[in-house]
Amino acid sequence: MSEKNTLKVGLAQMSPVWLDKQKTIEKIETYVTDAGTQGCDLVVFGEGLLPGYPFWIAFTNGAAWDNPMQKEMYAHYVRNSVEIEKGDLDSICELAKIHKIAIYLGTIERAVNRGGHSVYATLVYINKKGKIKSTHRKLQPTYDERLVWSPGDGNGLRTHSLKPFTVGGLNCWENWMPLSRTALYGMGENLHIAVWPGSERNTIDITRFVALEGRSFVISVSGMMYKKDIPTTTPHFDLLHKNAPDEMANGGSCISGPDGKWVLKPQVGEEGLFVETLDFNRVLEERQNFDPVGHYSRPDVTKLLVNRDRQGLVEDV
């Protein structure tokens, strides 16, 4: 494998300093530095890692209407969410530039263009020059996520060139949305990033399925979260600690090759940086017999329309 034909990738399987934005940023920075020191071209973090997944709603009656505890937890969540326009990711971008490493980072975004009080599960892509090139707000929050996350838009359905690869990404169960996947395939994606809150049950089947469908490499990256990871400074700590299961997210990060075979099997129960090197030629080999948007497509029969407008309530005219 020649270096120009390969990509060295790091899968950062870690727990956040749960719902603490600044401390989680500092932990993310250590992983970026580690991946950069190891010569990675790309490092990927799990869904909503910064500042963390809203696990509390599942074990504290999150759907209770007008409940003071749920309101206080939501307010704490919003305060610790990411304000990109105010520079919350600047230090991470600077590390990307220093180490010449691209980053996919799952965040909870406090969206300025939507008033700044609602939050979105936003997958951020930072290029090797430290520039944010796309912010993909999750199109459809899943089940109880809808109690805290707002639905996103198509603005972030984009791909990016990274050495010989074209890379794109989706959040969690968005990866089950056929047309969202197809939109990325149609833009030339051959390295698909799937980010998850954490669990082998999420990654073990769909990672290989998407790889076979797209004839692409697929990287799934998950988070970690255990009862012991709940900071004592979290609002309603005693109640959370009493009700929380011992294990909320146990990882499951993995990589499938474009033939659907494991490059890295799901990693369960271990926090750390997992590093692999991908050979672009494997994509070309597998596209010989199936290319979902090339020779095995019929745009004269079926075609996909994508609205990439960033949705907002106020528009200057």
* Residue among 47, 109, 213, 286 flagged as catalytic: 47
Q: Is the Cβ–Cβ distance between 251 and 267 less than 8 Å?
A: yes
172 is catalytic: yes
Query: Residue 116: left (phi > 0), alpha (psi -120 to 50), or beta?
Result: left
Q: Which residues, at least 6 apart from 304, have a Cβ–Cβ distance to it below 8 Å?
A: 179, 182, 183, 186
47 is catalytic: yes
* Residue among 8, 21, 109, 138 flagged as catalytic: 138
d(CA 59, CA 57): 6
133 is catalytic: no
| Coil, strand or helix at 2 | coil
Give the single-character DSSP code of 100.
T
Q: How many Cβ atoms are within 10 Å of 154's Cβ, its own excluded? A: 18
* Residue among 40, 93, 172, 254 flagged as catalytic: 172
d(CA 252, CA 32): 20
**Active site residue ranges:** 47, 138, 172
